[in-house]
Amino acid sequence: MTMETMNNYNGTILIVDLDAKSCSTQDLTEELIEKALGGAAINMELYEQYKDREPLILGSGFFTATFAPAACGGVITAKSPITGKIAHVPFGWQTGVELKLTGFDFVVVLGKAAAPVRLWLHDGLSDINDSADIWGKDVWESTDKLREVYGDDMAQMLLIGKAGENKNPLAVVSENYWGGKDKAGLGAVFGAKNLKAVAMRGLGSLEVADGFFQKCVELKNGIIAGTIKGKAGLYDIGTALGIDAAALDKLKSITHRNDAGYNCAYPYYTFLKYNEAPTFVDMMGGSKEPGCLVSDLMGFASLAAAGVDAPRAMEKCYRLGLEPAAAGALLKKQGAGIDGLDGLAAGGAADGLAAWSVAGALDSAIAAQTTAFSMAVPTRAIFGGQLDADGWIKRQALAYVLGIDPVMAVLSPEITVENMAELVQISAEWDDFSADTLNTICAELVKKSA
């Protein structure tokens, strides 16, 4: 077997020992890449290696930050305080790319800090910094503060709010200001480690194999001509999935613009403006905080069903670092208004979680097999094609290993195991890599995560 690993990775795993407040590195070896390829599958290998130290692992996928379609993804792996089992929580938009370009492909966080800390990863360097300055501050204030402290508006964050600090199982790991795909309570794992944030700025580089760019352009052109053609934003996804029409009409009425994660051909992040006219644009003027960016339809619909102002409630969940789908279900149960979210973030219990963790027959079919993947990702085909529970799990495993956005993996039936295996071959000049090998790695991931 030969491969050019520098086309896909920096070659470095960072080990962060919070007990000793020290960092060290180990090589990302060809043997490990050959065995598990990347993303959640390598995270699982590292989890096993360090499982006695309550590991929390951040990993980048094999294609993360490359020209491969939708290659924006990273994945956090830890034991979920909700299920007691392994959870893989994807992070994307620009955060996955930023992790890889810091110079660290994987980050293993062990133990617990004696006092609040954050990690600052940049230019192949890692710092564990005290974080009394932002502990107790909400996600928005903390993101602003960290960008100011580190002097870079483009720094990307994974961080927690009050819910995570309180080790509440409803806590999420947020991507910058905007929540994320954490339905597994990994925000509480950050909190239990006294880890407020991981701040990342990546100015590193990867090499590129001959022919890789053109092959990726071909694949991208196939995706944009496929089932997503003519569609955009959360509104079109929600309509296709049959989400409550009144909630969607509200969303549409205040939509400012649809945004996409790195190299994603469908913009499923929708920015809602409710503190100024939705069409207002001015770099210097207007509200500094005109609204919020929404990508979690399940959360939005749940808050709408609770009878509260869903866009503003989303913002409040983001600030508190609170999972919006569960929060909506609990508000409804309590008959509470938006202010009830403060109480949910303050508490340490999660009564009523069952209302949110499994919703609908197909979700139950998935949950019967695995709870390792994020239920923030729609569980059926959206604009075309067929997707049963087995198919969804396989597509998610593929996305989580390769660093492909998991929603894009559902939106783009044009992304197949076969063409991804061919792309691995081209990308790493790895001639004997096959679709069978990729299938086996994905199946092993599902099995080991059970």
Sort 348 into a burial class: Cβ within 10 Å, 0-12 / 13-18 / 19+.
exposed
Question: Which tokens is 4 given?
Answer: 């050019």
3-state secondary structure of 318: helix
- Among 167, 220, 250, 316, the residue binding other proteins under the rule CB under 8 A is 220
246 near other proteins, rule: CB under 8 A: no
Stretch that binds other proteins, among 29-37, 108-116, 260-268, 301-309 (CB under 8 A): 260-268
Cβ neighbours, 10 Å, residue 336 = 18
- Among 265, 303, 331, 411, the residue binding other proteins under the rule CB under 8 A is 265
185 near other proteins, rule: CB under 8 A: no
Cα separations in angstroms, 126 against 142, 156, 198, 384: 19, 15, 10, 44
205 near other proteins, rule: CB under 8 A: yes
Residues 63-82 that bind other proteins (CB under 8 A): 65-67
**Minimum CB–partner distance for residue 36 and other proteins (Å):** 22
**Amino acid letter at 78?**
A
Question: What is the distance of C-alpha 444 from the center of its chain?
Answer: 21
Which residues on neighbouring strands pair with residue 157, listed in sequence order?
199
Angle at 154 between CA 181 and CA 20, to 5 degrees: 70
Stretch that binds other proteins, among 110-118, 246-254, 257-265, 433-441 (CB under 8 A): 257-265
**Minimum CB–partner distance for residue 7 and other proteins (Å):** 9
Of the pair 290, 391, the CB lying nearest other proteins is at: 290
267 near other proteins, rule: CB under 8 A: yes
Of the pair 278, 385, the CB lying nearest other proteins is at: 278
Of the pair 131, 255, the CB lying nearest other proteins is at: 255
Of the pair 109, 197, the CB lying nearest other proteins is at: 197
342 near other proteins, rule: CB under 8 A: no
- Among 253, 287, 364, 440, the residue binding other proteins under the rule CB under 8 A is 287
217 near other proteins, rule: CB under 8 A: yes
Q: What is the DSSP letter of 7?
A: G
Q: Which long-range contacts (CB under 8 A, 24 or more apart) does 359-367 make?
A: 359/298, 362/388, 362/389, 362/392, 365/389, 366/392, 366/393
- Among 62, 106, 120, 177, the residue binding other proteins under the rule CB under 8 A is 177
Question: Which tokens is 219 given?
Answer: 């694949």
392 near other proteins, rule: CB under 8 A: no
> How many residues interact with other proteins (rule CB under 8 A)?
51
- Among 54, 244, 259, 342, the residue binding other proteins under the rule CB under 8 A is 259
225 near other proteins, rule: CB under 8 A: no
Alpha carbon distance 105, 99 (integer Å): 7
253 near other proteins, rule: CB under 8 A: no
Alpha carbon distance 236, 411 (integer Å): 12
Pairing relation of β-strands 117-122 and 195-201?
parallel
Cβ neighbours, 10 Å, residue 379 = 24
**Minimum CB–partner distance for residue 341 and other proteins (Å):** 20
Alpha carbon distance 98, 91 (integer Å): 11
- Among 94, 142, 295, 374, the residue binding other proteins under the rule CB under 8 A is 94
**Amino acid letter at 275?**
N
Stretch that binds other proteins, among 59-67, 76-84, 126-134, 362-370 (CB under 8 A): 59-67
- Among 2, 84, 283, 432, the residue binding other proteins under the rule CB under 8 A is 283
Residues 138-157 that bind other proteins (CB under 8 A): 140, 151-154
- Among 257, 332, 380, 448, the residue binding other proteins under the rule CB under 8 A is 257
**Spatial contact of 28 and 100, defined as CB atoms under 8 Å apart:** no
Of the pair 69, 81, the CB lying nearest other proteins is at: 69
**Amino acid letter at 364?**
S
288 near other proteins, rule: CB under 8 A: yes
Angle at 184 between CA 183 and CA 189, to 5 degrees: 130
Of the pair 142, 176, the CB lying nearest other proteins is at: 176
Alpha carbon distance 225, 69 (integer Å): 14
**Minimum CB–partner distance for residue 180 and other proteins (Å):** 15
Of the pair 158, 359, the CB lying nearest other proteins is at: 158
DSSP sequence for 33-70: HHHH-SHHHHHHHHHHHTGGG--EEEEE-SSTTSSSTT
Stretch that binds other proteins, among 108-116, 130-138, 209-217, 297-305 (CB under 8 A): 209-217
Question: What is the distance of C-alpha 168 from the center of its chain?
Answer: 19
Q: Of 264, 241, 236, which Cα lies nearest the Cα of 251?
A: 236
Give contact residues for other proteins (rule: CB under 8 A).
Answer: 65-67, 94, 101, 140, 151-154, 176-177, 201-208, 213-214, 216-217, 220, 223-224, 256-265, 267, 271, 273, 281-284, 286-291, 293
